[in-house]
């Protein structure tokens, strides 16, 4: 019974869904997804973080034991489009840290967009 409860709790808490990532360039960690709020701390370039989920402009992350929000344009991580899209990172523009030529299969300047995903081998 305990074998089933622990994974379920991790899944519900979101810990099982976090992916290792880093910031490029430096960024600020905010308590809410709003740049007018006071930053919790500055994150130097290369700071490791756990990426929980990204949205159009912001990513929900955890740095050490501190949870907060970072601008999506400054987040990068390893993986292919299948992995990134599950985390909310789709339609990446060249100005975003997670954009990479190998993620932009049709070379239209948008990585992991709807037009790229059919070109990715399943």
Please write the tens of the pLDDT for every residue from 60-99: 999 999 999 999 999 999 999 999 999 999 999 999 999 9
**Fold that domain 19-119 belongs to in CATH:** SH3 type barrels. (2.30.30)
- 83 alpha carbon, distance to own chain's centre: 10
Average pLDDT, the chain: 86
- Does residue 33 register a pLDDT over 60? yes
Residues 6+ apart with CB under 8 A from 85: 112, 117
CA nearest to 89, candidates 67, 63, 58 = 58
């Amino acid at each position: 019974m305990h074998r089933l409860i622990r994974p379920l709790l991790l899944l519900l808490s979101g810990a099982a869904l976090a992916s290792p990532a880093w910031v490029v360039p430096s960024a600020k960690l905010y308590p809410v997804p709003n740049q007018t709020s006071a930053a919790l701390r500055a994150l130097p370039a290369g700071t490791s973080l756990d990426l929980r989920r990204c949205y159009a402009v912001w990513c929900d992350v955890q740095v050490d034991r501190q949870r907060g929000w970072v601008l999506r344009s400054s987040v990068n991580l390893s993986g292919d489009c299948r992995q990134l899209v599950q985390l909310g990172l789709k339609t990446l523009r060249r100005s975003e840290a997670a954009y990479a030529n190998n993620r932009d299969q049709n070379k239209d300047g948008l990585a992991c967009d709807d037009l790229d995903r059919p070109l990715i081998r399943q």
